[in-house]
């Protein structure tokens, strides 16, 4: 606390109350914790002045919102504000007022700031329980045939996931579909039985669930559902993770039509080993067709980077469209060049629900 703040304690009190209420109302766990840290301008031993322009970001622009006023009223409760002042004077790591942390977490959740909500709930040791409540809510929606509501519950639960293996301390889990997607295609498929996208919907839904929810907390929760229910949930889940899915599906259908024209050539190539392909007298494709096929993964990934390894495009696709990894396959063009192409089971209700086939 600066000399100016010490002189006008009323102004200082108003400032800290406003900043705390603003952080709580916005679900801003970073700024909330900053207010208590050694670098805080509100610490008793701080040489900083919170009223200077560099700290403007800590103060609310609109003090009239109902959420802010509710947070301010909580901050101003005698027990809470007294505790706050004690912590700002304390030497060593401060304790955070649990009432404010809980409201902050709830506001963050309401605003879709799941990382902040997870951190707040983890501080209170209630994150896992709240995560379970949202999964249970999702299960209840499934029982009522409400796939959209089920997906909402599960996606909130996913947003609250924590990574206890993170270094140097546990942190909210970060989606890593770009890392997991290539692993779905680690083995080159020499026949249709090894192509994930051509499997029955029961298999595809199970793989999709484990890929999109790769955490033990989610294991086995959908096992009791009928196939029809799993298909509806999986389709809604893929769409819920990707607001631009429909535009991707249109692009996918276009690329699928293009690659399907070469299906017989692909089957012939897959029957040979790479050594045999390299010794073929005639190239499998003419120059123009080869160029068109090489452009397919680039188009699917919507990138300007040509002639990359197949997994490079899979990573890009999975970053923007996580569900896309379930409906592609690796395909050799020559002994030295491999791409990814759209592949889909023509009888798949999941693919139809996702608009990949019409």
For residue range 62-117, what is the model confidence (pLDDT) as tens digits? 999 999 999 999 999 999 999 999 999 988 889 999 999 999 999 999 999 999 99
Has residue 88 been placed in a domain?
Answer: yes
Residue found by looking up tokens 């631009």 in the block: 244
- The two most distant CA atoms of the chain are separated, in Å, by 91
Residue 281: predicted pLDDT: 52
Number of domains composing the chain = 3
Q: Is omega for the bond preceding 293 within 30 degrees of 0, making it cis?
A: no
Last residue of a domain, one of 92, 123, 154: 123
* pLDDT for the residue numbered 6: 47
- State the residue range of the domain holding 16: 3-123
Give the C-alpha separation, 279 to 294, whole Å.
21
Asked if the structure places residue 260 within a domain, the reply is yes
Residue 169 maps to a domain: no
The Cα-based distances of 270 to 221, 274, 312, 327 in angstroms read: 38, 9, 22, 19
Cα torsion 86, 88, 93, 97 to 10°: value is 60
> What φ, ψ does residue 50 adopt, rounded to 5°?
-65, -15
What would you report as the CA-atom Rg of the chain, rounded to the nearest whole angstrom? 27
Q: Are 237 and 154 within 8 A, CB to CB?
A: yes
Please tell me whether residues 133 and 240 are part of one structural domain: no
Instruction: Name 171's bridge partners.
Output: 163
Say if residue 60 is in the same domain as residue 102.
yes
246 and 135: one domain? no
Q: Is residue 354 part of a domain?
A: yes
Same domain, 347 and 210: yes
* Predicted pLDDT of residue 2: 47
Are 26 and 62 in the same domain?
yes
**Do 224 and 97 lie in a common domain?**
no
pLDDT the model gives residue 46:
85
In this structure, is residue 171 part of a structural domain?
A: no
CA atoms within 13 A on the CB side of 161: 21
Given 93, 123, 153, the domain boundary residue is 123
Residues 202 and 323 both lie in one domain: yes
Residue 282's pLDDT is 61
| Closest to 269 (Cα-Cα) out of 188, 198, 184, 182 | 188
Is the bond into 178 cis (omega within 30 degrees of 0)?
no
What is the distance between the alpha carbons of residues 168 and 87, in angstroms, rounded to a whole number?
Answer: 25
Same domain, yes or no: 61 and 152: no
Q: Residue 339 forms beta bridges with which residues?
A: 331
151 is a domain residue:
yes
Instruction: Give the pLDDT confidence score for residue 276 in this predicted structure.
Output: 66
Instruction: Tell me, yes or no, whether 181 and 323 share the same domain.
Output: yes
pLDDT of residue 44: 82
Q: Is residue 170 part of a domain?
A: no
Q: Are 314 and 232 found together in one domain?
A: yes
In a domain, 133, yes or no: yes
Same domain, residue pair 17 and 94: yes
Relative to beta strand 338-342, strand 162-163 is unpaired
> Which contacts of 299-308 are long-range, i.e. CB under 8 A and separated by 24 or more positions?
299/251, 299/254, 299/255, 300/251, 300/252, 300/255, 300/324, 300/328, 300/340, 300/342, 302/251
Angle formed by the axes of helices 66-75 and 9-26, nearest 10°: 130
Cα–Cα dist 351/199, whole Å: 11
With contact defined as beta carbons under 8 Å apart, do 262 and 343 qualify?
no
Do residues 231 and 336 share a domain? Answer: yes
The secondary structure of residue 182, as a DSSP letter, is: G
**Ranges in the chain, pLDDT < 70:** 1-7, 273-282
**Length reported for the chain:** 358
């Amino acid at each position: 606390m600066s000399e100016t703040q010490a002189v006008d304690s009323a102004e200082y009190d108003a400032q800290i109350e406003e900043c705390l209420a603003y952080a709580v109302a916005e679900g801003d766990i970073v700024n909330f914790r900053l207010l208590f840290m050694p670098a805080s301008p509100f610490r008793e031993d701080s040489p900083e002045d919170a009223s200077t322009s560099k700290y403007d970001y800590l103060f609310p622009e609109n003090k009239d919102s109902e959420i802010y006023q509710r947070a301010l009223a909580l901050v101003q409760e005698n027990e809470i504000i007294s505790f706050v002042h004690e912590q700002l004077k304390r030497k060593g790591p401060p304790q955070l007022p649990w009432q404010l942390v809980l409201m902050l977490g709830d506001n963050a959740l309401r605003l879709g700031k799941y990382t902040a909500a997870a951190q707040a709930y983890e501080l209170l040791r209630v994150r896992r329980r709240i995560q379970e409540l949202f999964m249970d809510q999702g299960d209840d929606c499934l029982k009522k045939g409400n796939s959209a509501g089920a997906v909402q519950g599960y996606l909130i639960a996913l947003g609250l996931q924590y990574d206890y293996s993170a270094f140097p301390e546990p942190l909210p889990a970060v989606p890593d579909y770009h890392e997991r997607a290539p692993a779905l295609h680690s083995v080159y498929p020499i026949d249709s039985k090894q192509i994930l996208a051509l499997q029955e919907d029961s298999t595809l839904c199970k793989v999709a669930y484990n890929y999109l929810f790769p955490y033990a907390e989610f294991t086995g929760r959908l096992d009791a559902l009928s196939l029809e229910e799993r298909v509806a949930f999986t389709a809604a889940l893929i769409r819920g993770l990707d607001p631009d899915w429909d535009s991707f599906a249109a692009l996918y259908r276009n690329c699928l039509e293009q690659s399907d024209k070469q299906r017989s050539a692909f089957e012939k190539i897959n029957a040979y080993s790479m050594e045999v392909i390299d010794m073929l007298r005639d190239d499998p494709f003419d120059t123009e067709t080869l160029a068109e096929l090489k452009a397919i993964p680039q188009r699917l990934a919507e990138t300007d980077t040509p002639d990359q390894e197949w997994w490079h495009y899979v990573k890009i696709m999975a970053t923007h469209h996580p569900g896309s990894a379930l409906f592609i396959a690796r395909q050799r063009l020559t002994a030295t060049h491999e791409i990814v192409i759209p592949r889909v089971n023509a009888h798949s209700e999941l693919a139809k629900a996702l608009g990949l086939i019409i």
